[in-house]
């Protein structure tokens, strides 16, 4: 049974902070199909389009019928742990400082045998579920979990290495003035964060929900204005070394396409809050996050972007907004590559219209901010990189995969 | 007069400069520091907002410029301590010389009187300056000279953050002039402009006045000016002050942040 984590002690200021090391991260282009699945928390393997064989490791031709038609498909993840090995020493610098490390051979019910990392509660001969996870290098690995949840299983060291669990981590929610920011603060506080710093801009302006926010457990309000470089730098100066997970809840939702808007005042505000705000956060907090990726139980773990699903394709009714969100998504992809050397994940959480004032005229389904909050906690616990929350986001995701042109045309009607 | 004019009768500016250097004329800075956290006027969120002051470092003796430090700054025309030109308001839109670039430069230097309603404002955040207040002031200090700034001392500039803006669910609550007194000052006292310590020459609730925002409406309608977010008015005497308030020369600009200086004569020590 997994030993429950205890709250980490305050750091010994005389100890050197360990440089984040990464496991080997080279994969073939074909094998990146596993990475794509892991990013969204799917269990996908290649399934031969001609003879239906399930194939692992990824190959360019089916080992049974030599077909090159080997798409990645969702596959049942049940199997049995045939053999386990405990590795006690290694020349690999990443694994060397994480010994002992358990691996084993799992025979998947779907066919192939897979060498997988093992959760501490799984024993030889037992039934298991396999999951594809992104390791610190951002590449897919397979981990074998007990068939049923066990107590404190999220606290297993090999599992926690793959996730960004907010438990005992310190979180910064960048904008607490909105319903979304407040829901996020509450979800993360309940999700086990040891403290949730919540940024509030323009403290001279009251905002709805303020009293409740101030009363939330483990929530501390900090001055942070994402449109002001000086403010972001000052906040980072004070708090960055104590931020393990950053959740950017900045929102700027206004209707109107490109010519519907008269002038650029609102577009500039949008870009200031969203795109430039993201850059400011990345520049101020990113270097410290990247340096603290292996800093113990509460190591830096994730930079979470809450981004509209219309970053992926424009919704002309909110056309200028969509363009700004697209800019944020592009910046987030770059940030992902830039934070990777620190083993820090960039988590993009895509969502559709929220049940808030700015989507007042949009018919349901709309997402409650609290649902989004819980989804973010779940994504962190699962170590996901791309998350689609709610019916609209999932629908857009599915339609984009099938026919992006048709989707563009339909959204423009 | 002989002291202030030279032999051929023109004003003696060297004597003036000497009086400043000697402290006989004190220069009081009526300006707040331009900083990102200084509040701006708040419009309903669906409207565009006045941009707050922002500063981006271009270089600071570093790889972006090894020997020099400088910033790019941005802001709205009505950010921080600022000047309102007549074109700012619809009532002044067709007047000649109504924008900051066309206002005659001589108008940037003018005398000022200070009317103190700080006690009333402390008791009532919605205090409105009335004609009776002005008449009572004149009974003590004499008639307001034509083309004078009227500076409204409320001590509001001593407040911070939330108390300064004083935003409640029904809007902002800050003192200002009632419609009648603005008309009175403009039409019967030929005022040069109105200067306030609050965000706006009008009261916080002036949207509900008739006309809405009377200071903007009547003053700018007659080509007169506004100064807002002033500080240090408590350091000025009621009369005898000269104000230097020259906005940036922005083409067709409706206003601009600026440095506002008050020249205050001080009695020489020993006199």
Average pLDDT, chain A: 97
* Long-range interactions of B21-28: CB distance < 8 A, separation 24+: B23/B266, B24/B265, B24/B266, B24/B268, B25/B263, B25/B264, B25/B265, B25/B266, B26/B263, B26/B264, B26/B265, B26/B266, B27/B261, B27/B262, B27/B263, B27/B264, B28/B232, B28/B235, B28/B236, B28/B261, B28/B262, B28/B263, B28/B264
Higher pLDDT among residues A261 and A298, named by residue:
A298
Rounded Cα distance between A155 and A16, Å, is 25
pLDDT of residue B2: 47
Please determine, for residue B48, whether its predicted confidence score (pLDDT) is greater than 90.
no
**Is A91 in CB contact (< 8 Å) with chain B?**
no
Return the H-helix or E-strand segment holding B162.
helix B161-165
Query: In a mutagenesis test of the B interface, which of A228, A284, A357 is the best target, namely the one with the most B β-carbons within 10 Å?
Result: A228
pLDDT of residue B5: 58
- Which residues does chain B have within 8 Å of residue A263's beta carbon, measured at their own beta carbons? 48
Q: Do B164 and A228 lie within an 8 Å CB cutoff?
A: no
Name the minimum distance, in Å, from the CA of A34 to any CA of chain B: 42
Tell me whether residue B88 is one of the annotated catalytic residues.
yes
Of B56, B57, B164, the CB nearest to A204: B164
- State the pLDDT confidence band at B3, using cuts at 50, 70 and 90: low
Name the minimum distance, in Å, from the CA of B128 to any CA of chain A: 23
- Which residues does chain B have within 8 Å of residue A360's beta carbon, measured at their own beta carbons? none
Active-site position among B32, B82, B88, B220: B88
Of A204, A229, A263, the CB nearest to B56: A229
Number of A/B CB contacts below 8 angstroms equals 41
Q: Do B167 and A265 lie within an 8 Å CB cutoff?
A: no
Average pLDDT, chain B: 95
pLDDT of residue B6: 57
pLDDT tens-digit series, residues A324-366:
999 999 999 999 999 999 999 999 999 999 999 999 999 999 9
Name the minimum distance, in Å, from the CA of A199 to any CA of chain B: 14
**Is A211 in CB contact (< 8 Å) with chain B?**
no
pLDDT of residue A73: 98
**Is A262 in CB contact (< 8 Å) with chain B?**
no
Q: Do B46 and A254 lie within an 8 Å CB cutoff?
A: yes
pLDDT of residue A260: 83
Closest residue in B to A358 (Cα) is: B46
Strand A170-173 with A245-248, pairing: parallel
- Which residues does chain A have within 8 Å of residue B51's beta carbon, measured at their own beta carbons? 268
pLDDT of residue B1: 44
pLDDT of residue A262: 87
Of B51, B54, B165, the CB nearest to A205: B165
Please determine, for residue B271, whether its predicted confidence score (pLDDT) is greater than 80.
no
Helices A179-190 & A369-382 angle (0-180, nearest 10): 40
Q: Do A263 and B54 lie within an 8 Å CB cutoff?
A: no
CA angle B60, B64, B65 (to 5 degrees): 65
For residues B9-34, average pLDDT: 96
pLDDT tens-digit series, residues B68-94:
999 999 999 999 999 999 999 999 999
For residues B16-37, average pLDDT: 97
ipTM of the complex: 0.92
pLDDT tens-digit series, residues A36-89:
999 999 999 999 999 999 999 999 999 999 999 999 999 999 999 999 999 999
For residues B93-116, average pLDDT: 98
**Is A270 in CB contact (< 8 Å) with chain B?**
no
For residues B41-65, average pLDDT: 94
pLDDT tens-digit series, residues A147-168:
999 999 999 999 999 999 999 9
Take residue A220 and report the two structure tokens written for it: 């501390």
């Amino acid at each position: 049974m997994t030993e429950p984590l205890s709250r980490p002690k305050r750091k010994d200021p005389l100890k050197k902070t360990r440089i984040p090391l990464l496991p080997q991260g080279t994969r073939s282009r074909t094998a990146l199909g596993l990475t794509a699945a892991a990013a969204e928390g799917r269990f996908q393997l290649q399934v031969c389009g001609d003879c239906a064989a399930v194939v692992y490791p990824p190959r360019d031709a089916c080992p049974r019928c030599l077909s090159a038609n080997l798409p990645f498909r969702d596959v049942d993840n049940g199997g049995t742990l045939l053999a386990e090995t405990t590795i006690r020493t290694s020349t690999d610098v990443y694994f060397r400082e994480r010994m002992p490390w358990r691996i084993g051979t799992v025979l998947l019910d779907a066919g192939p045998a897979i060498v997988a990392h093992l959760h501490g509660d799984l024993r030889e001969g037992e039934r298991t579920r396999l999951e594809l996870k992104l390791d610190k290098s951002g590449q897919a690995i397979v981990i074998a979990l007990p068939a049923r949840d066990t107590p404190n299983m999220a606290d297993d060291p090999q599992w926690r290495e793959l996730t960004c669990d907010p438990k005992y981590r310190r979180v910064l929610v960048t904008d607490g003035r909105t319903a979304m920011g407040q829901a996020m603060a509450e979800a993360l506080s309940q999700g086990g964060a040891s403290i949730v710093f919540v940024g509030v801009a323009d403290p001279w302006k009251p905002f709805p929900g303020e009293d409740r926010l101030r009363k939330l457990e483990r929530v501390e309000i900090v001055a942070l204005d994402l449109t002001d470089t000086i403010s972001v730098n000052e906040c980072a100066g004070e708090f960055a070394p104590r931020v393990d997970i950053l959740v950017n809840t900045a929102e700027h939702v206004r209707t109107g396409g490109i010519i519907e808007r008269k002038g650029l005042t609102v577009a500039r505000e949008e870009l200031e809050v969203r795109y430039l705000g993201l850059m400011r956060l990345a520049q101020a907090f990113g270097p410290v996050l990247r340096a603290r990726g292996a800093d113990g139980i509460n190591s830096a773990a994730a930079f979470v972007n809450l981004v509209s699903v219309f970053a992926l394709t424009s919704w002309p009714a909110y056309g200028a907004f969509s363009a700004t969100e697209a800019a944020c998504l592009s910046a987030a992809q770059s940030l992902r590559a830039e934070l990777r050397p620190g083993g820090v994940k960039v988590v993009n959480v895509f969502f559709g219209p929220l049940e808030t004032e700015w989507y007042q005229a949009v018919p349901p389904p709309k997402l409650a901010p609290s649902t989004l909050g819980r989804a973010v906690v779940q994504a962190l616990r699962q170590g996901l990189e791309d998350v689609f929350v709610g019916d609209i986001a999932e629908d857009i995701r599915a339609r984009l995969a099938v026919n992006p042109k048709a989707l563009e045309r339909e959204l423009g009607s | 007069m002989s002291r202030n004019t030279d032999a051929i009768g023109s004003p003696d500016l060297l004597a003036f400069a000497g009086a400043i250097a000697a402290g006989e004329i004190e220069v009081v800075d009526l300006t707040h520091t331009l900083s990102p956290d200084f509040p701006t006027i708040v419009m309903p969120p669906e409207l565009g907002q006045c941009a707050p002051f922002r500063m981006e470092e271009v270089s600071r003796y570093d790889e972006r410029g090894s020997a020099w430090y400088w910033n790019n700054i941005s802001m709205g025309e009505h950010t921080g301590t600022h000047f309102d030109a007549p074109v700012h308001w619809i009532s002044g839109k067709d007047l000649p010389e109504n924008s900051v670039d066309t206002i005659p430069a001589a108008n940037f230097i003018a005398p000022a009187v200070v009317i103190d309603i700080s006690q009333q404002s402390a008791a009532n955040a919605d205090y409105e300056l009335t004609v009776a207040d002005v008449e009572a002031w004149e009974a003590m200090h004499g008639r307001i000279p034509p083309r004078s700034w009227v500076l409204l001392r409320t001590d509001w500039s001593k407040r911070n953050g939330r108390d300064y803006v004083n935003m409640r669910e029904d809007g902002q609550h800050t003192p200002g002039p009632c419609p009648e007194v603005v008309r009175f000052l403009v039409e019967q006292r030929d005022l040069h402009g109105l200067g306030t310590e609050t965000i706006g020459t009008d009261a916080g609730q002036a949207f509900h006045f008739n006309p809405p925002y009377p200071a903007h409406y009547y003053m700018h309608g007659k080509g007169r000016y506004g100064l807002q977010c002033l500080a240090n008015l408590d350091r000025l005497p009621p009369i005898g002050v000269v104000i230097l308030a020259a906005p940036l020369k922005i083409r067709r600009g409706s206003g601009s942040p600026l440095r506002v200086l008050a020249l205050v004569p001080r009695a020489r020590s020993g006199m």
